[in-house]
């Protein structure tokens, strides 16, 4: 638990004034006494190199379903999926692609491209729409049309465009879906590329089983208390 102290120049100090334990008795707070706080912010989290974070060395406790958990490691997932990151140079180049992508989609949405009239958006935005795989797909023909557009009008090379194929396909569809259904719906496009989300969906059966086991353990505990 942290208490905020407002300082000068719009800054703030967040002072930890209490530490919490989970119902299983596990102390969540990380141990920064050896200077690891600096390392955590500079090399930890999404910047960590480990494919699997090391197991905390704190005291072991058990969850209601009997799983072993350890103190002193902060909040860690049961399954670790490293975040997808790109270099600063790659990010800057992708930003340069935003202008041709937006201009190309603008032409599509207004029906200016006669080869792709089915991408024309000729109705008001439909909000709170659940996106389907068949909605505004970026076909190979559409991608090649964008490549020609970007190389002729924005002087990118075909090789530069090809290196960013996945980014371009995702961005084209995002802009098209935004025009048709709004920005909230267009965020669903990223779900197809989100490795963490895909892993979470894959593990839903295991999560359900953990919930069932936990409910059984709690029911057993309550019954034993009533019988005393």
62 and 124 co-located in one domain:
no
Residue where one domain finishes, among candidates 27, 53, 79: 79
Task: Classify burial at 92, counting beta carbons within 10 Å of its beta carbon; exposed 0-12, middle 13-18, buried 19 or more.
Answer: exposed
Residue where one domain finishes, among candidates 46, 61, 79: 79
Q: What is the pLDDT of residues 109-130, one digit of tens each?
A: 999 999 999 999 999 999 999 9
Q: Which helix (H) or strand (E) holds 59?
A: none
Give a yes or no: residue 72 inside a domain: yes
Q: What is the pLDDT of residues 77-96, one digit of tens each?
A: 788 888 888 999 999 999 99
Does 8 score more than 80 pLDDT? Answer: yes
Please report the pLDDT score of residue 29 as a whole number.
Answer: 75
> Residue ranges of the alpha helices (H) in the chain?
36-43, 88-109, 140-153, 158-163, 165-181, 183-186, 195-202, 204-226
Total number of domains constituting the chain: 2
Instruction: Output the average pLDDT for the chain.
Output: 87
62 and 95 co-located in one domain:
no
Distance (Å, whole) CA 60 – CA 164? 46
Q: What is the pLDDT of residues 184-206, one digit of tens each?
A: 999 999 998 899 999 999 999 99
Give a yes or no: residue 201 inside a domain: no
Please report the pLDDT score of residue 225 as a whole number.
Answer: 66
Q: What is the pLDDT of residues 32-42, one digit of tens each?
A: 666 666 666 66
Residue 63: name the closest of 213, 208, 225 by CA.
213
38 and 105 co-located in one domain:
no
Domain that holds residue 57: 2-79
Please report the pLDDT score of residue 228 as a whole number.
Answer: 60
Please report the pLDDT score of residue 48 as a whole number.
Answer: 60
Does 50 score more than 60 pLDDT? Answer: no
Residue 26: name the closest of 75, 79, 65 by CA.
75
Distance (Å, whole) CA 100 – CA 43? 35
Q: What is the pLDDT of residues 128-163, one digit of tens each?
A: 999 999 999 999 999 999 999 999 999 999 999 999
Residue where one domain finishes, among candidates 14, 47, 79: 79
């Amino acid at each position: 638990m942290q208490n905020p102290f407002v300082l000068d120049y719009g800054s703030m100090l967040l002072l930890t004034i209490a530490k919490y334990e989970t119902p299983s008795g596990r102390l969540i707070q990380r141990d920064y006494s050896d200077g690891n706080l600096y390392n955590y912010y500079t090399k930890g989290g999404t910047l960590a190199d480990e494919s699997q974070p090391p197991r905390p060395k704190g005291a072991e406790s058990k969850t209601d379903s009997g799983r072993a958990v350890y103190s002193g490691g902060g909040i860690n997932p049961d399954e670790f999926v490293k975040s997808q990151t790109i270099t600063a140079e790659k990010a800057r180049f992708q930003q340069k692609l935003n202008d041709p992508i937006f201009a190309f989609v603008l032409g599509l949405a207004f029906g200016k491209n006669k080869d792709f009239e089915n991408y024309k958006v000729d109705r008001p935005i439909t909000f709170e729409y659940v996106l389907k795989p068949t909605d505004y797909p970026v076909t190979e023909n559409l991608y090649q049309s964008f490549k020609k557009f970007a190389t002729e009008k924005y002087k990118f090379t075909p090789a530069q465009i090809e290196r960013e194929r996945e980014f371009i396909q995702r961005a084209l569809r995002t802009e098209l879906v935004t025009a048709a259904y709004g920005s909230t719906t267009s965020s669903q496009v990223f779900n197809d590329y989100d490795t963490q989300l895909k892993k979470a969906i894959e593990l839903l059966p295991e999560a359900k089983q953990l919930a069932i086991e936990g409910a059984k353990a709690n029911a057993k505990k309550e019954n034993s208390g009533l019988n005393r």
